[in-house]
Amino acid sequence: MAIDERKLSALPVPYGMELPDRAPKQRYYDPDFFRLEAELLWSRAWQMACRLEEIPSPGDFAEYEILDQSVVVVRTDDLGVTAFQNACRHRGVKVAEGRGTCDGTFTCPFHGWCYGADGKNRAVTRRKSFSEHNMQPGDLDLTPVRCEVWGGCAWINLGHDAPPLRQCLEPVATVLDAWKVESLRTEWWYACRLPVNWKLAEEAFVEQYHVVQTHPQLAIPERYPPRDGRPTDPRTLVDGELHYLRVMSEGMAGMVHADDVRIAEGLAAMELPGDPGEAMATWHRRLNDEVVRWHREAGHDVPDLNDLEARGLNEPMGYCFPHYFVLPMYSSASSYRFRPLGPEETLMEIWSLTRYAKGEKRPPPAPPEWWECDDPRWPPIPAQDFSNLPRQQKGLHNKGFEYMRLSGPMEGHVSNFERTVDGFLAGLPHERLLPALREVNVNPLERPIVDIGL
């Protein structure tokens, strides 16, 4: 429920959200604020560490890095996952880097201490040279990190007292389960080094206010009946919708998968009712049915799209606090992950996810090269978003600029998200944070400012 933006109290946090429709600029570059996030947010929140297809077989591992922390996520013999702090218990050397297979043990490259895939210490070279108090049983194992699986991904939490993952991801977990996101697989995986704060980077993707100005190719008037009531040929609306699907497919390099575009093009000439609204509803229902039929015949695990529509679960974006997005459309999806590299530097990763036949063997996706935000290889739509962000980050430093002014109806998610960050930075217990997480873990587009319960 939307609220009066002036009626919420602020938490005692430096540069906190004193008014929910104003975000102080220092939140996006101040080093002390950034250090507070490292201490009280990233050390306590669930984070998407890797996709399970990166570690498909027992013994496979992937390193996940967040700020100065390194975690090794390992596939177990029963195809579960476990995770450990990536530091040898001797002198702290990382026992693993990147991604690979441990072949039963991780061996420290410095002095040869060995650890099993379960993190248990297997060998200490020249053990008798150490004092007894440094060789206590159990104290030599790699330090465990909480790890759970959801949505085709492994998630880690560096803290000890957070609720289970699922509680911290609702209600979006239920929505994305209905989309069968656990069945999606990587088609491509890109990464961008953005010269901006991680929150600023995320907030460029959670509202539609920017679309007409930043992405003019998406403003396709033929998709909508004229507001003046003039008669509209339903065929014109279908042509506009096909144009939109092509633009989304080409502009995102696959957010609407090329297979689904071809299915839609095959329906261009279908008979339609004369009423434009009824015609478009008929066309969309048929398109949903044909997409599902084509993919199921190909052996793909795909949900019934019309059933999702009927249940109100056809959300175009799901957000998982603090840094993971899924944007499903028809059979496939785009996915984003953001990680801070410094107060004014962020790594943004983009996955194009689609469905393959059950049992089809595919190689693990290769970790991407980090492209700069102005690299010409970026698809057109993210390239347009990236063109704004460095200019915004620089603009925040201007002495005459004090805070961002947020539209309550159109940019509410920015406020809800930033105030949830404040809840973590204020050190609130997790039971106090769960109501806020339930308000931000939703489709953020056109989300109003709401009471997040803090």
> Which of 292, 310, 328 represents a domain boundary (last residue)?
310
Tokens of 171: 């209600």
**pLDDT greater than 50 at residue 1:** no
- In the sheet that holds 185-194, the strands lie side by side as 318-320, 324-329, 332-342, 345-354, 185-194, 370-372
> Residues 138, 268: one domain?
no
Q: Which residue is associated with the tokens 């014109």?
A: 236
Q: Are 148 and 164 in contact (CB under 8 A)?
A: yes
* Residues 90 and 200 placed together within one structural domain of the fold: no
Q: What is the pLDDT of residues 5-20, one digit of tens each?
A: 455 557 889 999 999 9
Residue 227 has pLDDT above 80, yes or no: no
Residue 386 clears pLDDT 70, i.e. is over it: yes
H/E stretch holding 77: none
Do 425 and 221 touch, CB atoms closer than 8 A?
no
Q: Which domain holds residue 226?
A: 212-310
The CATH code of the domain that includes 149 is: 2.102.10.10
Is 452 a member of any domain? no
Contact 35, 414 (CB under 8 A): no
DSSP calls for 221-240:
GGGS--TT-----HHHHHHH
Helix, strand, or coil (residue 246): helix
Last residue of a domain, one of 266, 287, 310: 310
Residues 303 and 343 occupy one common structural domain? no
Q: CA 321, 363, 374: angle at the middle one, nearest 5?
A: 55
Q: What is the mean pLDDT of residues 434-449?
A: 95
Same domain assignment for residues 298 and 326 = no
What is the number of helices (H) and of strands (E) in the chain? 12, 18
Q: Which two tokens stand for residue 44?
A: 């306590």
Cα atoms found within 13 Å of the Cα of residue 191, Cβ hemisphere only: 11
Nearest to 330 by CA among 360, 310, 355: 355
The verdict on whether omega for the bond into residue 12 sits within 30 degrees of 0, i.e. cis, is: no
Total number of domains in the chain: 3
**Residue 243 is which amino acid?**
H
3-state DSSP assignment of residue 36 = helix
Q: Are 49 and 147 in contact (CB under 8 A)?
A: yes
Residue 177 maps to which CATH number? 3.90.380.10
CA distances to 64, 121, 347, 383, 434 from 369, rounded to whole Å, are 16, 34, 11, 16, 36
Q: Are residues 416 and 434 in the same domain?
A: yes
Mean pLDDT over each residue of the chain, to the nearest integer: 93
pLDDT band at 36 (very low <50, low <70, confident <90, very high): very high
Confirm if 41 and 85 have CB atoms less than 8 A apart. no
Give the pLDDT of residue 229.
65
Answer yes or no: do 346 and 234 share one domain.
no
Interval 126-178: pLDDT, tens: 999 999 999 998 899 999 999 999 999 999 999 999 999 999 999 999 999 99
Clarify whether residues 63 and 202 are in a common domain.
no
For the entire predicted model, the pTM comes to 0.94
> What is the spatial distance between Cα 321 and Cα 341, in angstroms, rounded to a whole number?
18
Q: Do 222 and 252 have their domain in common?
A: yes
**N-term to C-term CA, the chain:** 15
Residues 180, 326 within the same domain? yes
Per-residue DSSP letter, 21? T
| Residues 105 and 127 reside in one and the same domain | yes
